[in-house]
Structure 1
Amino acid sequence: MALLNNSSIAPISEFFLICFPNFQSWQHWLSLPFSLLFLLAMGANVMLLITIRLEASLHEPMYYLLGLLSLLDIVLCFTVIPKVLDIFWFDNKLISFPACFLQMFIMNGFLTMESCTFMVMAYDRYIAICHPLRYPSIITNQFVSKAAIFIVARNCLLTMPIPILSSKLSYCAGNIIKNCICTNMSVSKLSCNDTTFNQLYQFVIGWTLLGSDLILIVLSYIFILKAVLRLKAEGAAAKALGTCGSHFILILFFSTILLVLVITNLARKRIPPDVPILLNILHHLIPPALNPIVYGVRTKEIKQGIQKLLRRLLDVK
C-alpha cells in the first residue's frame, strides 16, 4: 500500500483512515459494541418510521417531526458506521477523495439538521402547553412541511462550503487521516495551504447554527416551565411535563455528547488523541440508538403502534 509523502507532487485521489492510531489492537474488540449499537439504531429507527407510516393515529405533526428525526439519524449513522466497521473487520482504510468530502458534508449538514429539528420540536411543545387552544391551527401538516424545507435548506446551504473549501486545498502532507471519519479538522491538517478561513468558517457557522437552536430550545422550555407552574389543577403539571419529558431526554443525549466532544477537542493536548475519535463515533451511534427507544417507551401512542406492527408481523409469519 503506497502512501504519499511530503515529496510527492501527484494530486491526491484517495485517503487512508487510520482509526485509533495508538490503539490499533483494540479495533476488533470495539467492533462488537459498535455493531450492536449500529443494528439497534437502524432497526429501532426503521421500525419507528414504519409504525408512523402505517398507524393512522400517528399521522399528526408531532409524530411527523419525530419521523424526520429518525430519518436524519438513519442517514448519519449509515454514513459513518459502515465505513468504521469496514476498517475494523477488513482493514479497508481506503476512502476516495469524493467519498471523503461527501461524508464530511453529510456529517456537518445532517448534524445541524438534527439540532434544528429539536428546535422545531421544542416550539411544538411550547405551543401545545402555552397555547393549547391555538395548537391545531398553528401546528399543522403544512407547518411541518414548511419546517422540513427550512431545516434542509438552511443547514445544507450554510454547511456546504465546509467540504467545498476543504476539497479545494492542496494536500502535500501525505494522505493518512488519523481518524475513523473524514472530519474537516482531520483532513485539513494534511493541507499545505493556510486553513485559517476554512476552520474559522466551520467554527462560526457551527456555533451560530447549533448555538441559536440551543438558545431557542432553552427559551421554549423556560416559557413551558412558567406555564406549567401556573397550572393549579391536580396532576395537570405532571401531565404537561410528561409530554415534554421524551423530547427533553433526546436533547440531553444530543447536547451532552456534543459538549463532551467539544471539550475534549479543546483539551486535545491533555488527553490521548484517540478519545475524541471514540466520542465522535459514539455521537453517531448513541443518540440514533436511544432516540426511538425513549419515544417508544415514554409515548403511549407509539408504544401501541409498535405493538400493533409486531402483531401484524407475527400474524403474517
Structure 2
Amino acid sequence: LYLTFSFMEQMHDEFNVTYITFGGHVELEKYKFLYFAIMFTAYILILCSNSTIVCLIWIKKSLHEPMYVFIAALLLNSVVFSTNIYPKLLMDFLSERQITTHSLCRFQGIIYYSLTGSEFFLLASMAYDRYVSISKPLQYHTIMRKTTVTVLLVLAWLLPACQLVPSAVFSNNSQICSFTLNGIFCNNAISKLYCATPKTYYLMYGVFILFNTVFLPLLFIMFTYTKIFIICYRSCREVRKKAAQTCLPHLLVLISFTCLCSYDIIIARLEIDLSQNTRFIMTLQVVLYHPLFNPIVYGLKMKEISQHLRRLFCHRVLCVKTDVGSAVISFVIQVQRPDFSTV
C-alpha cells in the first residue's frame, strides 16, 4: 500500500509540473541552424578565452597579486554566467518546443541575477584595490592581504545570492496566470507571469535588490575612481601612466556591463514596448557581448597579462613549427637515403 501510494503521489507531482514557453524567439524554424552555429561558436570562444587567462593567472606566480586574482574571479564569473544560459539556449534552438519547468526557470533567473550582482561587487573590489595601490602604495601589501582578498571574493558571490533567496521562496507558492515568457531565457520578465497579488511585491523587492547589488557598488566605484583621478591630477606623470594602464580596462568593462544591464532593468522591468526583433537582438547582446569583451580587454590592455599571452602563443607556434620542420627533414632524409638491399 505504501509503495502504491508513493507511486500515485509521484505520478500526481509529475502531471502537475508547470511548464513555461519561451516566446521571444524570432523565425526560429527558418534560422535555427544559423542561430545554433553562431551561439555555439560564441560559447566555445567564451570558454576558451576566459579559461586561458584564468589558467595563466593561476600558473604564473608573478600574477599572484590581488588585482589579477580579482580579474580571474571576474572571468570565472563570466564562464559560469554563460554556462547558465548557453546550454539551454542551444537546446532550444534545435527543439520543436522551447519550454522549461517553472522551478528550473526560477533557478536560472536566480543564478542569472546572482552572478550579475557578483559582477558589480567584483568591480567594486577591483576599484578599491586600485585605490589602495595608488593612494597608499607603501601600505598596499599590508591592507590587501590574502585574507582581505578572500573576504572580498566570498562577499561578492554570497551577498547577491543571499538577497535573492526570499524572492525564490516567495515565488515558489505563487500562482501563475500566464505561461508564455516574452524572452529566450528566464529573467525578471517571469514576474509578469504571476497573478496580480505578487506583482507589487516583485516591484518593491526588485527595487531593493537593484539598490543593494547595482546602485551601491556603482556609487562606491564612482567615489573611488574620483579619488584616484584627484590623486593622479596632483601626482607626477609616472603615477598617471600607472593609473591609466590599470584603471582603464576596469572602467571599460564597467561601462559596457552597466549599459547592457540597463537594458534588462529599463526594458524588462518597466515593461517598455519593443518589437520582438529588437528585444531578441538586445537579449542576445546581453549574453554574447560582455563575456567575450572581458577577456579581450584584460588580455590586450593589461600589460602583464598580454606579455604572458604573447609568450604562450609564440611558444606554441614555435613548437608547432619545430615539429613540422623535424617531420619534413626526417621525410626528406628517408627519401634520399639509398636502398642497398637491391644491390
1:30, 1:281 → 2: CA distance? 10
Where do residues 169-188 of structure 1 align in structure 2 (5 Å cutoff)? 169-173=174-178, 175-185=179-189, 187-188=190-191
Question: Which AA in structure 2 matches 1:238?
Answer: K
| 1:5 aligned partner | none
Matched, 1:272 2:275: yes
| 1:166 aligned partner | 171
Q: 1:189 to 1:266 in 2, by over 3 A?
A: closer
Question: How far 1:130 sits from its partner (Å)?
Answer: 1.3
Question: Which AA in structure 2 matches 1:133?
Answer: L
Q: Which runs of 5+ in 2 are unaligned?
A: 1-14, 324-343
Q: Which of 295, 298, 301 is residue 295 of structure 1 equivalent to?
A: 298
1:230, 1:89 → 2: CA distance? 58
2:156, 2:116 → 1: CA distance? 11
Radius of gyration: which is bigger?
Answer: 2
Question: How far 1:55 sits from its partner (Å)?
Answer: 1.1
Q: 1:24 to 1:258 in 2, by over 3 A?
A: farther
Question: Is contact 1:38-1:81 (8 Å) kept?
Answer: yes
TM-score by length of 1: 0.87
Task: Determine what percentage of the aligned residue pairs are the same residue.
Answer: 23
2:162, 2:269 → 1: CA distance? 27
Q: Which of 21, 26, 30 is residue 16 of structure 1 equivalent to?
A: 21
Matched, 1:200 2:191: no
Question: Is contact 1:261-1:276 (8 Å) kept?
Answer: no
Q: Which runs of 5+ in 1 are unaligned?
A: 1-9
| 1:307 aligned partner | 310
Q: 1:92 to 1:64 in 2, by over 3 A?
A: farther
1:254, 1:111 → 2: CA distance? 9
Question: Which AA in structure 1 matches 2:183?
Answer: N
Question: How far 1:21 sits from its partner (Å)?
Answer: 5.7
1:266, 1:26 → 2: CA distance? 29
193-202 or 54-63: bigger deviation: 193-202
Question: Which AA in structure 1 matches 2:298?
Answer: Y
Where do residues 213-292 of structure 1 align in structure 2 (5 Å cutoff)? 213-232=217-236, 234-265=237-268, 268-292=271-295
What value does the CA root-mean-square deviation take over the aligned residues?
Answer: 2.4
Give the structure with the higher percent helix: 2
TM-score by length of 2: 0.81
Q: Which of 182, 196, 215 is residue 211 of structure 1 equivalent to?
A: 215
| 1:40 aligned partner | 45
1:267, 1:25 → 2: CA distance? 31
Question: Is contact 1:165-1:198 (8 Å) kept?
Answer: no
**Paired positions, count:** 305
